[in-house]
Amino acid sequence: MLETIWFILWALLWAVYFILDGFDLGLGALLPFAARDEGERRVIYNATGPFWDGNEVWLIAAGGVTFAAFPKTYAVMFSALYVPLLLLLFALILRAVSYEFRNKIAHPAWRSLWDLVHFATNLIAAVLLGVAFANLFRGIPIDASGVFHGNLLTFLNFYGLAGGLFFLVMFALHGALWMCFKTEGELQERALSFVYLLWPLTLICLVGFLFLTAFYTDIFKNYIAMPALLIIPVVAVAGLIGVLVMLLRKKILLAWVCNCVFIVAVTFFGVMGIFPNMLISSMDPAATLTAFNSASSELTLTIMLGVALVMVPIVLVYQFWAYRLFSHKLTPNEVVNDSHSY
């Protein structure tokens, strides 16, 4: 029972990370296309500037829960995914540097360099997350001893790259919606044009990725065995449709919330599709790590659950307060004249 609870919480932590850092990554990947001058570029930086570091807390939490609740999975997963995770770490570090270093020198070449770094690191991070999770759904070559038999190119298979593209487009839509919420005037209209372009692309990528998922993975077996799980893809479709409905009603924040629902449902669709598996072995099914054969002791899981029930609400309240505090719309004049802005 505790193993199942922590498996669901593990999935939830990843989902929360995707909806919060997803708009950071997506908007950063849109930077060269969405901004036309220095003022607009600074608006985009400051649309995510107060939030990006707090959003990454959920990535640390997801990794920490993997380590504490499922130590065997953590050991094998982080060993097998060592190179992709190292690349992701470097990308996130350089993204943080781009926020802080860009305005240290007021020279166009210096700022252009960090704009390029910001764009590239957000794009790379989004793609790597998609590649990693697609391969977790598909399975990776690990033996009974937990030894990984492959290299970086092992993950860059067709299905993995399709997952990377899907995550990139999904996050870009999420970022464009956040840009709509945080801006006004011409910049908001441009953001809306990106939303109307990215929404059908997200739908196409979703359908394509689901088709490949049926071909490359066994995810749909759980949905056949447990029809109640079909509520998850229904919620995903409803969330994506809700984005358009809310936009037509001029309720931009609710459109972004609908996209959050879509991302959470997509995450749970994949994770619940492989339940109870956490790390599928493509070499030997007996070597697959599950929520049951890789979990910590019952005492550990019980203590962790108690801590989580206390600490997670505190973090959520703090983040809600931070988002509420910085919920106002941004203009180029405001950020250019603010000495504390990015």
pLDDT in tens, 96-132: 999 999 888 888 899 999 999 999 999 999 999 999 9
CA dihedral 31, 36, 42, 47 (to 10 degrees): -50
CA nearest 192: which of 236, 246, 237? 246
The two structure tokens encoding residue 123: 């794009």
pLDDT of 124-170, one tens digit each? 999 999 999 999 999 999 998 888 998 889 999 999 999 999 999 99
Question: CA-to-CA distance for 88 and 84, rounded, in angstroms?
Answer: 6
Are the C-beta atoms of 10 and 312 separated by less than 8 Å? Answer: no
Q: What is the mean pLDDT of the chain?
A: 93
**Residue 341 CB coordination number (10 Å):** 16
pLDDT score for 145: 87
The CA–CA distances, whole Å, from 149 to 63, 80, 263 equal: 23, 8, 32
CA-closest candidate to residue 83, choices 173, 12, 151: 151
For residue 119, give every residue at least 6 positions away whose Cβ sits within 8 Å of its Cβ, in sequence order, or none. Answer: 28, 29, 31, 32
- The domain spans of the chain are 2-224+274-336
Q: What is the pLDDT of residue 327?
A: 84
Helices and strands, number each (H, E), in the chain = 15, 2
| Spans of the chain, pLDDT less than 70 | 339
| pLDDT confidence of residue 339 | 66
Model confidence, pTM:
0.95
Name the nearest CA neighbour of 244 among 267, 265, 262, 264. Answer: 262
